Chain A
């Protein structure tokens, strides 16, 4: 049995649903995309004469939302990395499409390039907390006409986990051809797609755009995995009440989801959002604010009411540095979302309200994700876990640490953090008195100076490069001056034993 932190009663959930239906029917949606208007009209929606506004009658919305399936699968280049929500929740994802990166050597922010993306993909592949790689940055060095190709190539070449991304309409064919070429054929790719296409077709308030709407329709028609995210900003593009923003955002989700179902009944999707409250002092965009976490509690409840998996951008930060603000903003909202039953978190690696990727932040987020996954396991209620016999056996004034029961569970009962420091102060000083940022960068260096185990085979890479002349190298090479430092003896022994154990069992 799973219980979730909830803020709405059953009646209140129904009221928000009703309010959303009323918005869609009476206010309607300004639909810029002509094909979307045609699809909506063909399925019973009313065009408002003399405008591009479409009214979505409640019966139509109710009919089409009923065919949304209860789960969504992200496919990876390596199928062992496939993840399905809600079954595999919480599924942890990078934040995406930041124009900038914090340079790993200088610590200065600059435009991101393809070699940065290759390193990020490599890192995300190796960090166990990440389930899906949403392409973190842009690539300033992308050759003309190869903007999306460059990003998807660097990402897919270096990461075997599910990749999520988007591109403008003119890049669609190239993205798909790249995927087909990697898979070996179109049929092979379609049998197991490893790219999830993502768009924000609804621009709040209540407007569907041209291009993103087009792409959502296209990938839905194609039967390829895709989903939209709804992004209201309270006080600016939705009412300055959390409840009004929830109702409007819910209506906007229903509009996009219903359009998908009209194109392809039974098409899987995600109830995905990025709701924020604008800072009224300056108008600043504040995705690190706690109100985003609170709004997610409401959206998660609405998603459960519709029996649709949910998630979105939660746990972002406005901080420019990987500092305390960055940690508490990510931690507070993420913990709230986790308790509320959010299935998917687009969180990792970004600073400054989605503007810049930071390697150390990505590693610290990995640790937060591992904590979240441990939290999700909860108390693991069972008679065995009650351990009554053991309590009896050890008895008053006894000790549990020298017990076989403890030994069997010493690596699994608790999450063993890699970044959090638990040393005694003297020991911490002996080890360099490092803060979490420095320890995280050490882990980045450790990973990026090793060979990438999942990089394309020579054969696949040759095939791709033959098809797309002029592609960037797309290889994950360590930043200049970074060399592989010998791992601590303890880790080396652990790894040797792991290899031996793997050898014996195979």
Chain B
């Protein structure tokens, strides 16, 4: 994709195809330019989001599942999606369009292993979610503060250590006591977890990897909104 394309000379439907290709190839600057061009032509932010970005990432997701794309390629695509979303998000709010949603995510207290959690955050951005990444060693108080501030739809926790994973239960309890639990979809993940553990601590779902986390998040958000 190194040849210079003059976007202003392309028909709209070709720009849409071009965005999908650029997402697939992880070309953030090109995605941003094309998003701006479509908005300039009068497409609504919601049309650009669903018709170009989400549709493009669906292809990325499918090819990852089929083993055609490798993880680094998916992450580059997700970064491009995020760049496009940064332009669209304020406009979506202004126009009152349906929001994809916000995720508050962190690695629980005592644990500083956050690579997996960061992968999930990137993949969720790739699906268009706004992600508030609280980082490592996050205690219940900090989680609750972030929920109050950002009013997320999704709430994610991770732990790699078997000694730190019980703390997820502590956080969920604290969310309940603060009256915040019922408004959230709580997702948990990390190597030593399993579905039984998620059920035991009353999370909504255990996600065994980043791709499953995205799938689960989309599914549960749709269910919650009655779509």
Q: Bound pair: A and B? A: yes
* Residues of chain A having any CB pair with chain B under 8 Å: 32, 97, 99, 138, 147, 167-168, 203, 207, 209-211, 233, 235-237, 278, 280-283, 285, 355
Q: Interface code B3-36, partner A: CB below 8 Å = 1, 0 otherwise?
A: 0000000000000000000000000000000000
**From residue 82 to 134 of chain B, which have CB atoms closer than 8 A to chain A?**
110, 112-113, 115, 119
The residue in chain A whose Cβ has the minimal distance to the Cβ of B74 is A283
- A210 x B209 contact (CB < 8 A): no
Question: Pick the contact of A211 from B71, B110, B119, B191 — CB < 8 Å?
Answer: B110
* Residues of chain B having any CB pair with chain A under 8 Å: 67, 70-72, 110, 112-113, 115, 119, 137, 162-163, 191-192, 209-210
Instruction: Given A280-B70, A281-B67, A283-B119, verify A97-B162 contact (CB < 8 Å).
Output: yes
The residue in chain B whose Cβ has the minimal distance to the Cβ of A110 is B196
- B112 x A210 contact (CB < 8 A): yes
CB-CB under 8 A from A210, the residues of chain B are: 110, 112, 137
CB-CB under 8 A from A283, the residues of chain B are: 71, 119, 209-210
CB-CB under 8 A from B110, the residues of chain A are: 168, 210-211
Main secondary structure of the interface of A (DSSP, over half): loop
CB-CB under 8 A from B115, the residues of chain A are: 233, 236-237
- A99 x B71 contact (CB < 8 A): no
- B162 x A138 contact (CB < 8 A): yes
- B191 x A355 contact (CB < 8 A): yes
Task: Tell me the smallest distance from the CB of B205 to a CB of chain A, in Å.
Answer: 19
CB-CB under 8 A from B113, the residues of chain A are: 203
Instruction: Given A203-B112, A207-B112, A236-B115, verify A285-B191 contact (CB < 8 Å).
Output: yes
> Which of B137, B163, B192, B210 is the most central at the interface, judged by chain A CB atoms within 10 Å of its CB?
B163
Task: Tell me the smallest distance from the CB of A317 to a CB of chain B, in Å.
Answer: 16
- A280 x B162 contact (CB < 8 A): no
CB-CB under 8 A from B71, the residues of chain A are: 278, 280-283
The residue in chain B whose Cβ has the minimal distance to the Cβ of A278 is B71
- B209 x A282 contact (CB < 8 A): yes
Question: Pick the contact of B162 from A99, A233, A236, A285 — CB < 8 Å?
Answer: A99
- B191 x A280 contact (CB < 8 A): no
The residue in chain A whose Cβ has the minimal distance to the Cβ of B160 is A203
The residue in chain A whose Cβ has the minimal distance to the Cβ of B119 is A283
CB-CB under 8 A from A32, the residues of chain B are: 112, 137
Assembled-state Cα–Cα distance A167/B113 (Å): 17
CB-CB under 8 A from A97, the residues of chain B are: 162
The residue in chain B whose Cβ has the minimal distance to the Cβ of A235 is B72
The residue in chain A whose Cβ has the minimal distance to the Cβ of B165 is A99
Assembled-state Cα–Cα distance A439/B226 (Å): 56
Assembled-state Cα–Cα distance A506/B72 (Å): 67
- B70 x A209 contact (CB < 8 A): no
CB-CB under 8 A from B192, the residues of chain A are: 99, 355
CB-CB under 8 A from A282, the residues of chain B are: 71, 209
Assembled-state Cα–Cα distance A138/B193 (Å): 13
The residue in chain B whose Cβ has the minimal distance to the Cβ of A237 is B115
Task: Tell me the smallest distance from the CB of A275 to a CB of chain B, in Å.
Answer: 15
Assembled-state Cα–Cα distance A425/B221 (Å): 60
CB-CB under 8 A from A237, the residues of chain B are: 115
CB-CB under 8 A from B119, the residues of chain A are: 283
